C-alpha cells in the first residue's frame, strides 16, 4: 500500500466521523429544544397570561397580540386603580408576609445550621450520631402528619396566624438540612486551618470567624439558597396556621376567588411575582455556588 492510499483511507474515515458527529449534534439540539420548551413553555404562558385582560385571557383561539393589562400586578402590589378592588384585598400583605417569613426564617436556619454543622464536624460528643440522625429526621417528617397538632399548639401559644409562628416553622423545617449541608462543607475544610491558628496563639472563635467561615461562604450561599426555596414555597403549614393576618403569597393565590369568580389575572401575576425572588436570589449567589472551596494549597489532595 502506498502512502497516498493510506492517507485517502484516513480522510474517508474522517469525513464519515464528521457526518456522524454532525447528526448526533443535531439530534441533541432538537432534544434540548424540546426539553427547553417543555420546561419554559408553561412559564412563558404564565407570563403572557398575567399581562392579559380577563377578556383576552378567555378568548378562543388564544390571542397572541393584545393590549397589556397590568391590573393583575396592580392588585398584587397594591397600586393603581385595581388596588382598590375587593379582590386585591390582602394580596400585598401576603407578599410581604412571604418575604418576611422566608428571609428571616432562612437567615435564622442558616445561622443555627452553620454553628451546628461546625460543632458536628469538629467536635466529638456523646450521642453525636444520634443527634445528627435526629436533626435530619425533622426533614423526613411529612407535614400533613403533624399539621393538626401544630395548629392546636400554635393556637394555645398565640402563634397562630402570626408571621413569628411561620418563621418558627421555617426555621424548624430548614435547620436540620442546613446543619447537614454545612457539616459537609466544614468537613471539606482541613482541620489544620484551625490548628495552625490555635498553636499560633489565636482563639478558636478567631479561627472560626476569620479563617474557616470565609472558606465556606460558597457553602453558606448554597445552604441559604436551599432553605430560601423551601421557605418561599412552603404551603402546607402556612395554609393551616394562618387565617387572615399572616397569609403567605402561595396560600393567598390558592384562595384567590373573589366576588367575580376566580381571579385568573391576579393569580398569574402573583405566580410571576413568586418566581422572581428565587431567580434574583440565585442570580446573586451564583458565583459562590460555583466557587471552589480551597485553592488546592490546603488539605491532603
Partner 1 sequence: MAKIELRDLSISFGAFTAVDKVNLTVNDGEFVVYLGPSGCGKTTTLRSIAGLVDATNGDILFDGERVNDLKPSERNIAMVFQFVSLYPHLKVRENIVFPLKARGIPSSEIKRKLDWVTEVFGLGDELKRYPAALPPGAKQKVSLARAVIRDPAVLLLDEPLSAIDEQFREEMRWELGHLQRELGVTTIYVTHDQREAMSLADRIVLMNNSKIVQVAEPDRIFHKPDNVFAGQFIGSPSMNLIDLVPAPGGLRLGDSAIVLPEAAIPADVASSRQKLRLGVRPRDIRLVNEEVADGFPVEVEDVYSVGRERYFLFRIGDNEYQGVDHRVEQGTGESRIAFEKGGLIFFNAETGERVSAVEKAA
Among 196, 213, 236, 278, binds partner 1 (CB under 8 A): 196
199 touching partner 1, by CB under 8 A:
yes
By beta-carbon proximity to partner 1, the closer residue of 83 and 298 is 298
188 touching partner 1, by CB under 8 A:
no
By beta-carbon proximity to partner 1, the closer residue of 142 and 292 is 292
By beta-carbon proximity to partner 1, the closer residue of 272 and 293 is 293
129 touching partner 1, by CB under 8 A:
no
Stretch that binds partner 1, among 108-116, 131-139, 187-195, 277-285 (CB under 8 A): 187-195
By beta-carbon proximity to partner 1, the closer residue of 9 and 128 is 128
- Tell which positions 23-82 bind partner 1, by CB under 8 A: none
Among 28, 214, 286, 291, binds partner 1 (CB under 8 A): 214
Q: Phi and psi for 258 in degrees, rounded to 5?
A: -100, -160
By beta-carbon proximity to partner 1, the closer residue of 196 and 236 is 196
| Contact yes or no for 101/242 (Cβ under 8 A) | no
By beta-carbon proximity to partner 1, the closer residue of 142 and 201 is 201
The 3-state secondary structure of the chain, one letter per residue: CCHHHHHHHHHHHHHHHHHHHHHHHHHHHHHHHHHHHHHHHHHHHHHHHHCCCHHHHHCCCCCCCCCCCCHHHHHHHCCCCHHHCHHHCCHHHHHHHHHHHHHHHHHHHHHHHHHHHHHHHHCCCCCHHHHHHHHHHHHHCCHHHHHHHHHHHHHHHCCCCCHHHHHHHHHHHHHHHHHHHHHHHHHCCCCHHHHHHHHCCCCHHHHHHHHHHHHCHHHHHHHHHHHHHHHHHCCHHHHHHCCCCCCCHHHHHHCCEECCEECHHHHHHHHHHHHHHHHHHHHHHHHHHHCCCCCCCCCCC
> Which residues, in sequence order, are CB contacts of 202 under 8 Å at separation 6+?
none
| Contact yes or no for 215/295 (Cβ under 8 A) | no
Stretch that binds partner 1, among 70-78, 108-116, 197-205, 254-262 (CB under 8 A): 197-205
Q: How far is the CB of 203 from partner 1 (least distance, A)?
A: 7
**Nearest-10 crossing angle of helices 217-233, 264-290:** 170
- Tell which positions 280-299 bind partner 1, by CB under 8 A: 294-299
202 touching partner 1, by CB under 8 A:
yes
Q: How far is the CB of 183 from partner 1 (least distance, A)?
A: 20
By beta-carbon proximity to partner 1, the closer residue of 91 and 197 is 197
Applying CB under 8 A, the site for partner 1 has a residue count of 21
193 touching partner 1, by CB under 8 A:
yes
Q: How far is the CB of 216 from partner 1 (least distance, A)?
A: 13
Stretch that binds partner 1, among 3-11, 12-20, 192-200, 226-234 (CB under 8 A): 192-200
Sites of contact with partner 1 (CB under 8 A): 190, 192-193, 195-203, 211, 214, 294-300
Amino acid at each position: 500500500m502506498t502512502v497516498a492510499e493510506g492517507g485517502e483511507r484516513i480522510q474517508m474515515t474522517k469525513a464519515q466521523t464528521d457526518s456522524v458527529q454532525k447528526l448526533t449534534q443535531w439530534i441533541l439540539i432538537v432534544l434540548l429544544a424540546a426539553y427547553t420548551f417543555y420546561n419554559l413553555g408553561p412559564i412563558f404562558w404564565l407570563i403572557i397570561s398575567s399581562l392579559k385582560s380577563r377578556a383576552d385571557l378567555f378568548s378562543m383561539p388564544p390571542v397572541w397580540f393584545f393590549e397589556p393589562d397590568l391590573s393583575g400586578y396592580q392588585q398584587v402590589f397594591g397600586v393603581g386603580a385595581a388596588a382598590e378592588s375587593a379582590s386585591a384585598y390582602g394580596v400585598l400583605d401576603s407578599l410581604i408576609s412571604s418575604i418576611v417569613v422566608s428571609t428571616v426564617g432562612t437567615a435564622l436556619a442558616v445561622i443555627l445550621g452553620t454553628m451546628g454543622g461546625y460543632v458536628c464536624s469538629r467536635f466529638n460528643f456523646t450521642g453525636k450520631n444520634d443527634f445528627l440522625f435526629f436533626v435530619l429526621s425533622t426533614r423526613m417528617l411529612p407535614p400533613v402528619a403533624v399539621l393538626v397538632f401544630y395548629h392546636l399548639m400554635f393556637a394555645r401559644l398565640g402563634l397562630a396566624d402570626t408571621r413569628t409562628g411561620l418563621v418558627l416553622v421555617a426555621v424548624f423545617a430548614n435547620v436540620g438540612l442546613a446543619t447537614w449541608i454545612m457539616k459537609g462543607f466544614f468537613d471539606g475544610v482541613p482541620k489544620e486551618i484551625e490548628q495552625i491558628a490555635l498553636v499560633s496563639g489565636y482563639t478558636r472563635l478567631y479561627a472560626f470567624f476569620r479563617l474557616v467561615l470565609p472558606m465556606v461562604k460558597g457553602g453558606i450561599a448554597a445552604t441559604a439558597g436551599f432553605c430560601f426555596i423551601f421557605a418561599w414555597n412552603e404551603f402546607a403549614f402556612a395554609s393551616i396556621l394562618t387565617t387572615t393576618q399572616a397569609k403567605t403569597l402561595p396560600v393567598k393565590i390558592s384562595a384567590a376567588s373573589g366576588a367575580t369568580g376566580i381571579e385568573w389575572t391576579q393569580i398569574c401575576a402573583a405566580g410571576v411575582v413568586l418566581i422572581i425572588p428565587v431567580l434574583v436570589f440565585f442570580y446573586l449567589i451564583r458565583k459562590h455556588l460555583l466557587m471552589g472551596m480551597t485553592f488546592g494549597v490546603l488539605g491532603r489532595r
